[in-house]
Amino acid sequence: MIARKGPLATATLILMVGFVASRLLGLVRSIVIATLFGTAADYNVYLAAFRIPDFLFQILAGAVLGSAFLPTFTGYMAKGQRREGWLLASSILNAVALGTFVLSVLAWLFAPFFWPRVFPGFSDAEQTALGVQLTRIMLLSPIFFGISGIVTGILNGQKHFLAPAVAPLIYNLSIIGGAWLFGGPWGTKGLAVGVAAGALAHLLVQLPALRSGGMEYSPRIVFGHPGVREVGRLMVPRAVGLAAVQINFLVITILASSLPEGKLAALDYAWQAMMMPLGIFGMAISTAVFPTLAEEASLDQLDKMKATLLQSLRLILFLTVPASLGLIILREPLIATVFERGAFVSSSTEATAYALMFYTIGLTGHGALEIINRGFFALRDTRTPVAVGVGAMVVNAAMCMLLIRILGHGGLALSMSIAAIIESSVLLLLLDRRLQGLIDRQTVLAVGKMIAGGAVMSVVLVGFLRLPLALGGNGLQRAIDTGLAIAVGGATYLLAMWMMGSEEVTTLSRRVLRR
């Protein structure tokens, strides 16, 4: 368990290292998949099949974990009511296990019925049969992930971040193993087996930490427990919100399935590329700070909570603004360097880079959402994020219908970005009203410096790309040039921000030197 002294910095460091390692392994996973399957039709079917178990997990376990369980559990522990806290944890763990099992069994039974109706773009009988098989294999994952997600929440609520940070690494290794060992003889079924096995491993690797943390497990579901009722009250609107997010992905999947072969896969590769900086910066910082926000809110320390939230938001923006601009400028050499080999050919690079350009426009919006939503959850307000999220879903669906006609699969990516920017902006204004003064002159000035620093970096990067030798080779030379471009861009941004007196540069440098 992490000591109270400097918990936020230590937790952020552990989680950032974990997220970096997880994203790097996720990158290796994507490279292996791209090499074996590229943007072929069977891989597009696999991506569609993956949406079903992911939907089941998110609307049940995902809704319980983030917004409902962790703040309630943390509240009991912060007030010294450990026995009640453990009874709550046991009840929620048992309820999620039972719920995901029932939903997965029902989905397994009805998969042949709903598959051709949900994904009409895959109308071929062979594709439909493959889609049903892949869905059924991966329906094991919501059960394991549901239980594992609650275990993660328990450990995070106790300020224990190491085991939850290791679990995604094991998950990615399992998918890599499934693709590498079984992708040849089994095709995408090897991927599906890797997903199911990885979900189980994700759970098993956290159990020793749970046991050492002293959990007092009870095999009951105490529906009358005040904490269980509170979790139920909080999770219902959050489940609606997560369902809206998953519907967004379903809409994109359904529309992309009607486009020429490979566009759904290109969208997925581009999304994974954008998730690299989002996971390292936005998700790591937000996950680390959430227990602190929940504890400060439960103790009615709103001034401290506001300061913690603002510091985290500014740090996320400080890191995602240059990442967004850099990805847009370097999108083609980055995709070519990372993915272009084996079955992933130059046309795959072009399609993926095209989608990445539009996805990356919304990177700062997605990053800000990670911390802003957690601010509302810490205040035990799930209704506001859900209401705004549903509105964003409607905007996204409408924009998808419009922009797919103009920009093809790039329009689907741009729709997600527009919706994320609108959603984060509206929620930030509402949270500012709730906490009274979250957005102040100093914050606006800091963001202005970030935009100016990003503009300077962009000019330098564009100039670098016009050099005769820049990004002119293939293979290793292209990788070296791309890495050099990233280093030049990052150094330029940090130098520009330092010259403008950015507080974030000072804070980061002090922490690095102290570590």
In the prediction, which pLDDT does 13 show? 64
Domains held by the chain: number: 2
Do residue 350 and residue 455 come from a single domain? no
Question: CA–CA separation, 507 vs 165, rounded Å?
Answer: 24
Could you say which DSSP state residue 416 is in? H
Q: What is the dihedral of CA 506, 509, 513, 514, to 10 degrees?
A: 60
Do residue 231 and residue 295 come from a single domain? yes
> Angle, nearest 10°, between helix axes 302-329 and 409-435?
160
Of residues 292 and 496, more confidence is placed in 496
Do residue 451 and residue 422 come from a single domain? no
Do residue 361 and residue 309 come from a single domain? yes
Residue 419 confidence (pLDDT) above 90: yes
Do residue 478 and residue 340 come from a single domain? no
Spacing of C-alpha 468 from chain mean position: 38
Q: Which two tokens stand for residue 315?
A: 């740090």
In the prediction, which pLDDT does 386 show? 83
| Contact between residue 461 and residue 485 where contact means Cβ atoms under 8 Å apart | yes
Residue 3 confidence (pLDDT) above 50: no
Do residue 507 and residue 380 come from a single domain? no
Do residue 419 and residue 472 come from a single domain? no
In the prediction, which pLDDT does 109 show? 95
439 φψ region: left (φ > 0), alpha (ψ -120 to 50), beta (else): beta
Q: Which residue type sits at 251?
A: V
Q: Give SS3 for 196.
A: helix
Question: CA–CA separation, 180 vs 187, rounded Å?
Answer: 10
Residue 1 lies in a domain: no
Question: CA–CA separation, 121 vs 258, rounded Å?
Answer: 5
Which of 387, 415, 439 lies at the terminal end of a domain, its last residue?
439
In the prediction, which pLDDT does 5 show? 40
Do residue 469 and residue 393 come from a single domain? no
pLDDT band at 409 (very low <50, low <70, confident <90, very high): very high
Residue 197 confidence (pLDDT) above 50: yes
Residue 2 lies in a domain: no
Residue 2 confidence (pLDDT) above 50: no
Question: CA–CA separation, 153 vs 151, rounded Å?
Answer: 5
Q: Which two tokens stand for residue 149?
A: 């997600």
- Please list, in sequence order, all residues whose beta carbon lies within 8 angstroms of the beta carbon of residue 214, skipping any fewer than 6 positions away: none
Burial track 188-207 (b if 16+ CB lie within 10 A, e otherwise):
bbbbbbbbbbbbbbbbebbe
Question: CA–CA separation, 227 vs 84, rounded Å?
Answer: 8
pLDDT band at 67 (very low <50, low <70, confident <90, very high): low
Residue 334 lies in a domain: yes
Do residue 239 and residue 282 come from a single domain? yes
Question: CA–CA separation, 205 vs 489, rounded Å?
Answer: 38
Query: Given the structure tokens 């759970």, which residue do they identify?
Result: 203
The candidate with the shortest Cα–Cα distance to 294, out of 159, 384, 396, is: 159
Domain that holds residue 196: 7-439
Decide: pTM greater than 0.85. no
Question: CA–CA separation, 48 vs 87, rounded Å?
Answer: 38
The C-alpha angle with vertex 166 and arms to 378 and 490, in degrees rounded to 5, equals: 80
Do residue 456 and residue 433 come from a single domain? no
Do residue 19 and residue 61 come from a single domain? yes
Which of 398, 421, 439 lies at the terminal end of a domain, its last residue?
439
Do residue 435 and residue 445 come from a single domain? no
In the prediction, which pLDDT does 459 show? 94
Query: Given the structure tokens 């205040």, which residue do they identify?
Result: 379
Question: CA–CA separation, 47 vs 43, rounded Å?
Answer: 6
Residue 512 confidence (pLDDT) above 60: no
| Contact between residue 131 and residue 48 where contact means Cβ atoms under 8 Å apart | yes
Average pLDDT over residues 406-426: 94
Residue 24 lies in a domain: yes
DSSP string, 202-240: HHHTTHHHHHHTT----S---TT-HHHHHHHHHHHHHHH
Model confidence pLDDT, tens digit, residues 94-128 = 988 898 899 999 999 999 998 888 888 777 788 88
pLDDT band at 234 (very low <50, low <70, confident <90, very high): confident
